[in-house]
Amino acid sequence: AGAEKLSEGLKALEGGAGTLAQSVKEYTTAGVGALTEGAKALPAGIEKIQAGTEAAEGAAGTLAEKSGSLQAGLNGISQTLRDAAESAGGNSSVDTSAVTNGAASVQSGADTVSAGLDTASAAIDILSGIDMSQLDEGTQAAISEAIGCISGGVGTAQSGLGSVYSGAEAVQGGAEQITGADNSQIASVLTQAADGIDQAAGGAGAVSSGLETLEGSLGALNEGASKALEGANGLSEGAAALSAKGEELAQGAEQAAEGAKALVVGAKELTDSTEKLSAGAEALKEGFYGEKGLQAGIEMAESASEALVNGASSLKKSGTELKAGAEELKSNDYTLILGAGKLDSATTQLNEGISQIGGATEALQEGASKLSANSGSLKNGAEALEQGTGTLAGGTNTLVSGTNTLASGSSQVQNGIKKLNDGAKELKEGQDKFNKEGVQKLKDTVEDTLDSVLDRLEAIQADDVAYTSFAGKSDSMNGNVKFIIETEPIELPEE
C-alpha cells in the first residue's frame, strides 16, 4: 500500500510539473508576447493622433490668418462695385448682369464655405468630447464618425471656394465687357475692381491651401486612432492570455502540491514499514537470544543429552554387578526420566524459538522487499521535488517581474492618453476661436457688403433712372445724359 501511494504521488508530481512547465512556456510566449506587441502599437497610434492634431491646429491657424486677406479682397470688390454703380448712373447701355451674377455666385460660395466650416467645427467639438481614456471599438467608431464629418465639412468648404472663384471670374469678365463700352469713367473704376478680385482670389487660394492641409491631417488622425485601437486591443488580448495562463499555472502548482502530498504519504508508509521491519528484527533477536529463545533451548538440550549419555554409560558399566547394577539402574532410571523430561521441555522451547524466528524472518523479508523497491523511487521523487521547487521559484520571480513591467507600462499609457485628451481640448478651443473671429466675421462682412452692391446694381438697371435729357427735348430729337462725379483719389495698395 505504501509503495502504491508513493508511486501515485510521484506520477501526480510528474504530471503537475509538466503542466506547470507548459503553462510557464505558454505564458512567456503567448501572453507576454501579445502584451508586448500591444504595448508597442499603442504609443505609435497615440503619436499619430498627436501628429494629426498638431497638423489640424496648424491648418486652422493658417485659415484664420489667410481669411483676413480674403475679407480684404471682398471689401475692395464691394467698394469698387459701389463706385461703378454710382458712376454708371442712368446709362442704360451698360450691361451689368455679368457683374450681378458673379457677385451672387461669390455670395453663394461664401455661404457654402461658412456652412462647411460650421460642420467641421461641430465635428471637432464632438471629437474633443470623446473620452480617449477608453480606446475600445465604440470609441474608434465615434472617432471615425467625427473625422468623417470634419472631412465632409472641409469638402463642402472647398466646393464653396470653387463658387467664389467662378463668381470672381464672372465679375472680372463683366468688368472687362463694361471696360470695352464707351464709358471711360466706369472702365477706370472696374479696372481697379479687377485688382480687388485678384486680391480676393489670393486670399481664397490661401484658405483653400489651409483646407487641404487640414484634410491631409485628418488622414494622420484617422491612422493614429486605428493604431491606438490596435494597441489597446493588443493590450486587452495580452491581459486575457496572461489571465488564462495564470489559471493554468495555478492548476499546475496545485497538481504539484498534490503530488508532493502523495509523496509525503508514501514516505510515511515506507517509514511505518521500516519500523515494522525493525520490530521484526528485534523479535528475531529475542527469539534467538531471549530467556526462552532458541539459544537457551539448545543449551538445555545439550545438558540433557550429556545426562542421558552419562546414564547409559553407567548402566553399561554396572552390568557385571546385577544387584548393584539393578539398584544403580533404579537410581539411573530416575535420572533418565529426569533427563527425558528436561529434553522434552527443551524441545518445546526450541520449537517456540523456531516459530518466532520464522515469523520474524517473514516480517524482515517483507520489510526488506518494500525498502528495496521504494528506495529508488523515494530518491527520484525527492530529486524531482527539489527540481520542481526550483522551477516554481524561478517562474514566480519571472511572473513578479512581468507584473511590475505591466504596471509601469500601464502608467505610461495613462499619461499618453491624458496628453492626447488635453491636445484635443486645445484643438477644440482653437477651432472655436477661428470660427468666431474668422469665419463668422467673414460671413457677416460678405453678406452686408454684397447686399448693398446688389441693391445699387438693381437701382442702376431700374427704368426710373433711365432718361435721355437733363433739361428737356422735343420728341423728334435724340439725346443722352452723362454725369461726372468728382471723388477723392483712389490709392492703390503698395506692392
The pLDDT score that the predictor gives to residue 90 is 47
Instruction: Tell me, yes or no, whether 220 and 115 share the same domain.
Output: yes
The pLDDT score that the predictor gives to residue 51 is 55
Instruction: Tell me, yes or no, whether 240 and 264 share the same domain.
Output: no
Q: Are 161 and 128 in contact (CB under 8 A)?
A: no
Instruction: Tell me, yes or no, whether 429 and 443 share the same domain.
Output: yes
**Structural domain includes residue 289:** yes
Q: Are 318 and 328 in contact (CB under 8 A)?
A: yes
**Structural domain includes residue 494:** no
Instruction: Tell me, yes or no, whether 135 and 72 share the same domain.
Output: yes
For 223, residues 6+ apart whose C-beta sits below 8 A from its C-beta are 48, 52
**Structural domain includes residue 150:** yes
Interaxial angle between packed helices 2-26 and 322-434, expressed in degrees from 0 to 180 and rounded to the nearest 10: 20
Measured between its terminal Cα atoms, the distance across the chain in Å is 110
* Grid cell at residue 493: 495698395
**Structural domain includes residue 347:** yes
The pLDDT score that the predictor gives to residue 92 is 44
State how far the Cα of 371 lies from the Cα of 352, in Å rounded to an integer: 28
* Grid cell at residue 74: 471682398
Does pTM top 0.85 for this prediction?
Answer: no
With CA atoms as reference, report the closest residue to 37 among 237, 288, 280. Answer: 237
The pLDDT score that the predictor gives to residue 182 is 46
Q: Are 102 and 236 in contact (CB under 8 A)?
A: no
Final residue of a structural domain among 342, 366, 381: 381
Where residue 293 falls (left for φ over 0; alpha for ψ -120 to 50; beta otherwise) is beta
**Structural domain includes residue 396:** no
**Structural domain includes residue 487:** no
Instruction: Tell me, yes or no, whether 33 and 151 share the same domain.
Output: yes
The parent domain of residue 290 ranges over 257-381
Instruction: Tell me, yes or no, whether 144 and 157 share the same domain.
Output: yes
Instruction: Tell me, yes or no, whether 354 and 444 share the same domain.
Output: no
| Number of other CB atoms surrounding residue 30 within 10 Å | 16
Amino acid at 413: V
Instruction: Tell me, yes or no, whether 354 and 458 share the same domain.
Output: no
Q: Are 197 and 57 in contact (CB under 8 A)?
A: no
Q: Which long-range contacts (CB under 8 A, 24 or more apart) does 243-250 make?
A: 244/31, 245/23, 245/26, 245/27, 245/30, 245/31, 246/27, 246/399, 248/19, 248/22, 248/23, 248/26, 248/27, 249/20, 249/23, 249/24, 249/27, 249/395, 249/399
User: Could you list the pLDDT tens digit for every one of the 495 residues in the chain?
Assistant: 555 655 666 566 666 666 656 665 665 565 556 556 655 555 555 555 555 555 555 554 455 455 455 555 555 555 555 555 555 554 444 555 666 666 667 667 666 766 766 676 666 666 656 665 555 666 667 766 767 777 777 677 667 767 766 776 776 666 666 655 545 555 555 555 555 556 555 555 656 666 666 666 666 666 666 666 666 666 666 666 666 666 666 666 676 667 666 666 766 776 676 667 667 667 666 765 666 665 666 666 666 566 656 665 655 555 555 455 555 555 665 665 666 666 667 667 766 766 666 666 666 566 656 655 665 665 666 566 667 666 766 666 676 566 566 656 656 656 666 676 676 677 677 767 767 777 677 667 766 766 776 676 566 556 555 667 767 777 788 887 776 767 777 677 675
Q: How far is CA 493 from CA 73, 76, 193, 265, in A?
A: 11, 11, 13, 105
Q: Are 62 and 198 in contact (CB under 8 A)?
A: no
The pLDDT score that the predictor gives to residue 348 is 72
**Structural domain includes residue 486:** no
**Structural domain includes residue 484:** no
Instruction: Tell me, yes or no, whether 83 and 146 share the same domain.
Output: yes
Instruction: Tell me, yes or no, whether 129 and 263 share the same domain.
Output: no
Instruction: Tell me, yes or no, whether 205 and 319 share the same domain.
Output: no
The pLDDT score that the predictor gives to residue 429 is 77
Domain count, the chain: 2
State how far the Cα of 270 lies from the Cα of 368, in Å rounded to an integer: 11
Instruction: Tell me, yes or no, whether 109 and 176 share the same domain.
Output: yes
